[in-house]
Amino acid sequence: MVHGGAGALDNVRDNKTALRYLESIRTIVEHGRNVMELGGSALQAVEACASLLEDDPVFNAGCGSVLNENGKVELDAAIMDGRDLSAGAVAAVGNIANPVQLARLVMTKSEHVMLISEGAMRFADHCGMERVPEDYFYTPDRVEQLHQARLRHKVMLDHDDSDDDSEDQKYGTIGAIARDPEGNLAAATSTGGIVNKRMGRVGDSPIVGAGVYADNETCAVSATGFGEDFMRTVISKTISDFMLMKGMDANQATEAGIAYLTRKLRGRGGVIVIDQHGNCASGFTTKKMIHGWIEKGGETHCSF
Ligand code: ASP
């Protein structure tokens, strides 16, 4: 399963842009299938899918990320392997085209789970990862979006759908989760965060248990939405716990997780979930969430 952010795509529905989102989601989820058909693991599949989503400028991750209060990108990403709960994350990094790949290196080549900012960049240099110039990330849409947020004196989801008069209802943050034929689960989430965020703000996406989680005993989860709500409800681990402690399947646990998010905080966003048996589920409190999935090797589905 992959997602391209929770929110509404109403104002671009039925035009070329909407089709672009869908086409990208479909192509990328099918790429994930190919990776695993060729013998790749769930971990390889989610890293490959998340990288492709980061490369597509329509999504709020990697190239095309939203801008912070200083007009800069600060990127967060994480990846987790359900086989042994190993995880890697980076936060507030710039100049890295694929933060999810840096997160994977943190997981495999360091003794840590998370590196941030300058320390993460030094680690990237140490690993020989190429730095890209800042203008690699900028798109005219993102500059305009920051301008609008500043005018309204607010921070916004890339795809904010809370205001009826919202002009900007695009999708954003990306995530990929997979279960491979061996039954291994993996999850990855990557984002530019929220528009006009404070410098140094880190959201849920790189936080294990909040924006990302994978455990072979339960499920793989990737979240999207207002990170502060997801950190406070530890939403991804909460969904996993519903399975572990209450024996729920993907649909039941997702429904229970979304109900908890709503009851406690009226939290805004959504999740994609695959359980240990390969059942796929999604849930969101925004109008929509763009996502695609292939359940148990079946047909490709997309929804937005
Ligand atoms: N969850 C992300 C964050 O708060 C934003 C999003 O999903 O669009 O950084």
Q: Which of 259, 209, 262, 229 is nearest to 89 (CA)?
A: 209
Smallest CA-to-CA distance from 96 within 67, 137, 56, 126 is with 137
At what angle are helices 99-109 and 117-126 packed, to 10 degrees?
Answer: 80
User: Per residue in 146-176, pLDDT tens?
Assistant: 888 888 777 777 765 555 444 344 457 999 9
| Inter-CA distances, 270 with 21, 131, 174, 281, Å | 17, 32, 11, 11
* Minimum-distance ligand 1 atom for the alpha carbon of 211: 1
- What is the spatial order of strands in the sheet that 269-275 belongs to? 212-214, 219-225, 269-275, 280-284
- Whether residue 194 has its Cβ less than 6 Å from ligand 1: yes
As a whole number, mean pLDDT of residues 104-124 equals 98
E strand intervals along 109-155: 114-116
Task: For residue 225, give the ligand 1 atom closest to its CA.
Answer: 7
Considering the candidates 139, 173, 189, 238, report the single residue annotated as catalytic. 173
User: Coil, strand, or helix at residue 240?
Assistant: helix
Alpha carbon distance 244, 236 (integer Å): 13
Q: Is the CB of 62 under 6 A from ligand 1?
A: no
Instruction: Assess whether pLDDT exceeds 70 at residue 14.
Output: no
> Ligand 1 centre and the CA of 183: distance in Å?
29
Q: Average pLDDT, whole number, for the chain?
A: 92
71-103 pLDDT per residue, tens: 999 999 999 999 999 999 999 999 999 999 999
Distance, in Å, from the CA atom of 120 to the CA atom of 86, rounded to the nearest integer, reads: 18
Look at 287 and 16; give whichever has higher pLDDT: 287
Q: Choose between 195 and 207: higher pLDDT.
A: 207
Ligand 1 site, residue 94, Cβ cutoff 6 A: no
**Domains identified in the chain and CATH numbers:** 2-303 (3.60.20.30)
Q: With a cut of 70, say whether residue 11 has pLDDT above it.
A: no
Positive or negative: CA dihedral 264, 153, 197, 160: positive
The answer to whether the CB of 4 falls within 8 A of the CB of 291 is yes
- Quick check: 187 and 239 in contact, CB under 8 A? no
- Enclosing H/E stretch for 226: none
| Encoded tokens for 223 | 């979240």
> Which pLDDT score, from 0 to 100, does residue 168 have?
44
Q: How much is the pLDDT for 55?
A: 97
Q: For the chain, what is the largest distance between any 2 Cα atoms, rounded to a whole number of angstroms?
A: 51
User: Is the shortest distance between the CB of 160 and ligand 1 below 6 Å?
Assistant: no
Strands, E assignment, 56-173: 75-81, 86-93, 114-116
Active site residue 189: no
Q: Is the dihedral of CA 47, 50, 51, 52 positive or negative?
A: positive
Mean pLDDT confidence for 50-73: 94
Cα(193) to ligand 1 centroid in Å equals: 5
Judge if the beta carbon of residue 205 lies within 6 A of ligand 1: yes
Output the six-digit token pair for 12.
Answer: 């671009």
